[in-house]
Amino acid sequence: TAEVVVPSGTTFVAALGQSVSTKTDEAGTPVTLETVAAVALADGFVVPAGTRIRGEVTHAKGGGRLGGGPELTIRFQEIVVDGEEYRIGSEPFRIRGKGDTKETVAEIGGGALLGGVIGGVTGAGVVEGAAVGAVLGTGVAVATKGDDLTIAKGQQLRIRLSEPVTVTLPVPEDAKQ
């Protein structure tokens, strides 16, 4: 094995291990994801698919007539590689629904994307859109039932490191010579 730096800006695509909702979850609720693809690094090193990423809900608010739309924020704090836990800095994932669900906004870092405007609202209050998909992964569906937002178990999110992290990885076969 060798210590390898995973650089700032590295993006992982990972699937949620459970649904997350403004109706049932609150700040402090743990969130676990699993990467769906390996991430290639310099010199042939690879962070394998199936790597766990842990985080927590840092803000969850249902919508209301006077309080605006529902809001959900998740911060990812840890990556688990071969059973070893490493603290990570990542950009928070935020999603906000407007009170009338005509517009859903997903943010990573400071950039906002309007999914409702691009993709429109489809039946039963499910918002789908190319812009939100760019943040959450393809085929995103965020349910906005009543005054709540729900992201389904298995939904893919993109997690981008905001700072480098050093992890221990197996040495690639071609580097062992």
Task: Give residue 53's pLDDT.
Answer: 95
Q: What percent of the chain has pLDDT over 70?
A: 67
The DSSP letter of residue 116 is H
Q: Which of 18-32, 62-76, 100-114 has the highest mean pLDDT?
A: 18-32
The predicted model gives 108-137 an average pLDDT of 35
- Does residue 161 fall inside a structural domain? yes
Note whether residue 107 is domain-resident. yes
Contact between 111 and 91 under an 8 Å Cβ cutoff? The reply is: no
Does any domain span residue 122?
A: yes
Is it the case that residue 13 has pLDDT exceeding 90? no
d(CA 111, CA 102): 19
Average pLDDT over residues 36-41: 91
CATH number at 46 reads: 2.40.128.260
Residue bearing the bigger pLDDT, 111 or 152: 152
Query: Whole-prediction pTM value?
Result: 0.74
The range of the structural domain enclosing residue 145 comes to 2-170
* Residue 131 confidence (pLDDT) above 80: no
Number of structural domains the chain divides into: 1
